[in-house]
Structure 1
Amino acid sequence: MIRAILSVLAFFSVVSTACAEDSALRRLNTGDESRGWEAVGRLELGGKGFCTGTLIAPDLVLTAAHCLFEPSTGQRVDFGSIEFLAGLRNGRAEAYRRVRRVVIHPSYRYEGDVTAERVRNDLALLQLLRPVQNTIVTPFETAEQADRGESVSVVSYALDRAAAPSLQNSCNVLQRTKGVLVTSCDVNFGSSGAPIFRVRNGQAQVVSVVSAKAEMGGKRVALGAQLDGAVELLKNQLVSGVGVTQDFMPRIKGAVPVTGRFPGGAKSVKP
C-alpha cells in the first residue's frame, strides 16, 4: 500500500533525504557531463522556491501543477514572476525565459491529501515568452507510458543539490496503478516536475513527471503522473485558449507604443 509522506516536493520545507535503490545520483558538474540534458531546467518561482521543468518544445515547459500554487495559501503563484533556467549549472544557464501563458490539467485539484487522482493529474504546461532556439538545448519528446519493471532515469534539481542537475541513470518502475507511475527514483524537495525518462533506440523520452515521494513496503519511492494523453490535452488547451491563464501582460503598467518619439527625448517603460 502506498502511503504518501509529503504532498509536494517544492523548495518550501525542511530537508528529507531519499535513498536511491538503484544507481546513485550523479551531479552533472561539467559541460561534458550535462551534455544532452540541457533541456531540463530549474523553474524559479518568484524567489519563493523552485521546481524542475523540461522543455518538450522550443516554447513549452512540462512540470508538475502543484508547483504553481502557494503552499501556505493554496493560491496560484504570480505566473509573471516565474523564470525557466534551461540547463542551469553552477550559476549559469543555457537560456533564461519568462512565462507567457500557463495551462494546468483541468482535473487537477491542489487542495486535499495526496491521492492517486491528484498525482495522475499533477501536470502543467508553461508557454515561454520567447522560444529557446539554440544548438545546445534540444527539447525532449514525450511518450505515454513506461512498463512495470522497466528501467528509467530521472534528471532533477533539489534542495540539497540546487546549483546543478543530478542524474540517476537507472531506477525502476515498480508499479503502474490508476494513472500513477511508482518508481524507485531518488527525489527530494525541488524535484517536483522533474522528468522521468525511458530510453528507446538511444532516444530519451519523457514518460512521467515527478509529483511526490512516498513509502511502499517500507521503502522510499517516487510517485509520478503517467502522461497518457495529458500532454496533447494541455497542448490543445493552449491552442484553443480553454483553461489558459495569461498573467504576464496584465502585470505591465504604463506601456505605450514605441513607433514614434516622445517630446523632449526618449523614454523607457519597464514592467
Structure 2
Amino acid sequence: MLGPLFVSSALILVTAILAFVSEHHAAFAQPAPPTDRPTGILSAKDRRVRVSSDKWPWSAIGRINVVAGTYRGHCTGTLIGPRHVLTAAHCLFNTRINNWVKPSSIHFVVGQIRDKFLGHSLAESFLTSPQFKYKLEDRPRYDFFDPKMIKRDWAILTLRDALGVKPIPVQAVDSAGLLAAVNSGELALAGYAADRPYVLSVHRGCTAAINPFEPRVITHKCDNAPGESGGPLLLLRDGGAVVVGLHSANFQRFESQVGYRAVVGAAASATEFEAAAKSVQR
C-alpha cells in the first residue's frame, strides 16, 4: 500500500474522485479514525478476517516476495493461469535503484498458510503497461503516487514453473455491471497483509463503484493493509469467482496535529488488463 495521494499535479482528479466517494460510499461505513501514519482501514472497525488458503478461490492467491540485494518487500498476487500471476506493477519497482527489479528476484508462493503452501516458483519475466510511469522523476514527490497511474498499476508475471492450482479468471465489468454484480453477489478483497504476513486476510461484503471521472479506476471500501497491494478485488457469485479489479493504493486525508484518515481504496479495473491477461496465456 502506498502513501497519501494528495499531489498538486493531480489535484483536480483527486478532488473529483473524493467528491464521488462522498456521494457513493459514505453511507456504507463509519469514517475511519485518524492515525499517525497512512492506513487502509476504511471504517471505525477493521473488517478483515483470516481465511484458510486450502480452498478455492483463496487457494489461487499468494505472496509475491521480492529480494534484490538488501531490498526486501512483499505484495499479493493471484494465479490467473498455470504460469501467470496478476499483481500491482509498483510492487516490482525498486525505488533505491529507481528501476524495475530483475525477474529472478521475484518469488511467488501460492496458497500459503504460515509455513505451508500449495506451490511456488521464481518468475521468468513480467509484463507491465508501457504507460505506467513510476520512476522518481515521474512522481510528484518521491513518496507520493500519482493518481493518474492507478489504472495502469498492473503487472503479469510469467513463472518458470507451472503450478497445479486452479486459477481465477479475469473479467472486466462496466459501472452498471459492477453495481448489478455487487447487488446479486458479493465483493471481496484478499491479501497477505504485513500485520498478518503468512495468513490470507479477506474483507467480504465491501462496496465498490467505478468512478466516472476515471472510468478505469474502481473506488472501494474494502479494508486493507500494507502488503495487500496487488490483491484481487473479487466478485463472488453462484460458487464462482472472477477478478474484477486489482488493489493499488488508498486515498488519505491529512490534518495537522490530527493525523491521517483513510478515505477510500483504489483499484485498477480489469478493463485495463483483461486483454493483456488473455494475450500472455495464448
**Which moved further from structure 2: 65-74 or 227-236?**
227-236
Answer yes or no: is the 8 Å Cα contact 1:68–1:77 preserved in 2. Answer: yes
**Bigger radius of gyration:** 1
**Counterpart secondary structure, 2:57:** coil
Deviation track 1:149-205 (CA, whole Å, cap 9, x = no partner) reads 835101101111101111111110044241110000111111110000012332111
**Counterpart secondary structure, 1:118:** helix
Distance in 2 of aligned mates of 1:148 and 1:176? 12
Distance in 1 of aligned mates of 2:268 and 2:110? 22
Partner residue in 1 for 2:66? 45
Partner residue in 1 for 2:48? 25
Aligned in 2, Cα 1:219/1:81: closer, same or farther, shift over 3 Å?
closer
| Equivalent of residue 170 in structure 2, options 122, 142, 154 | 142
Report the Cα offset of residue 55 of structure 1. Answer: 0.3
More helix by share: 2
Report the Cα offset of residue 235 of structure 1. Answer: 4.5
Aligned in 2, Cα 1:210/1:229: closer, same or farther, shift over 3 Å?
closer
Partner residue in 2 for 1:125? 156
Mapping for residues 189-268 of structure 1, pairs under 5 Å: 189-215=226-252, 219-233=262-276, 235-236=278-279
CA RMSD of aligned residues (A): 2.7
Deviation track 1:189-243 (CA, whole Å, cap 9, x = no partner) reads 111100000123321110011111113796532110001152323553686xxxx
- 2:194 matches 1:159: yes
Distance in 2 of aligned mates of 1:108 and 1:96? 27
Answer yes or no: is the 8 Å Cα contact 2:5–2:252 preserved in 1. Answer: no
Deviation track 1:58-104 (CA, whole Å, cap 9, x = no partner) reads 11000001111012332111210111000111122110111112111
Aligned in 2, Cα 1:105/1:130: closer, same or farther, shift over 3 Å?
same
Partner residue in 1 for 2:105? 81
Count residues in correspondence: 225
Aligned in 2, Cα 1:6/1:160: closer, same or farther, shift over 3 Å?
farther
Answer yes or no: is the 8 Å Cα contact 1:147–1:176 preserved in 2. Answer: no
The percentage of counterpart residues that share the same residue type is: 27
Distance in 2 of aligned mates of 1:144 and 1:216? 30
Partner residue in 2 for 1:262? none
Distance in 1 of aligned mates of 2:5 and 2:199? 23
* Aligned-partner residue type, residue 51 of structure 2: L
Report the Cα offset of residue 109 of structure 1. Answer: 1.0
Partner residue in 2 for 1:58? 82
Aligned in 2, Cα 1:125/1:95: closer, same or farther, shift over 3 Å?
same
Note the residue ranges of structure 2 that are not aligned, 5 or more in a row: 7-35, 255-260
Q: Output the TM-score relative to the length of structure 1.
A: 0.74
Distance in 2 of aligned mates of 1:235 and 1:101? 16
Answer yes or no: is the 8 Å Cα contact 1:148–1:176 preserved in 2. Answer: no
Distance in 2 of aligned mates of 1:19 and 1:71? 25
Note the residue ranges of structure 1 that are not aligned, 5 or more in a row: 8-13, 240-271
- 2:114 matches 1:90: yes
Aligned in 2, Cα 1:45/1:116: closer, same or farther, shift over 3 Å?
same
Q: Output the TM-score relative to the length of structure 2.
A: 0.71
